[in-house]
Amino acid sequence: MKITIKVDPDLCIGAASCVTIADDTFALNDENKADVLDHGQAPGGPSYERVVEVTEDEKENIILGAQSCPTLAVSIFNEAGEQIFPEV
């Protein structure tokens, strides 16, 4: 399944809790903001949005990482474009 992961750089404070939980999906960039990785692969520059192919277990771990964000800077959308975190 594919999910879209978005990080709002204006909300991200660089707490790195998402990185601690899902380091294959998140990493801090030079601006101390969370970049979205694709299975550990870094983008060429800051990447605050990415579509990623994941398993159910990977999706659950990414959601846990998003839930750990103290400012709710991470949003996750399913293949249909529906927001699955944070719940609306």
Residue extents of the structural domains in the chain: 2-85
Cα(44)–Cα(54) distance, rounded to whole angstroms?
21
User: Does this model's pTM top 0.85?
Assistant: yes
> What is the greatest pairwise CA distance in the chain?
32
How far apart CA 10 and CA 49 sit, in angstroms, is: 13
- Parallel, antiparallel, or unpaired for β 83-85 and 74-77? antiparallel
Mind listing the pLDDT tens digit for each residue in 32-79? 999 999 887 766 666 899 999 999 999 999 999 999 999 999 999 999
> What is the C-alpha R_g of the chain?
11
CATH fold of 2-85 reads Alpha-Beta Plaits (3.30.70)
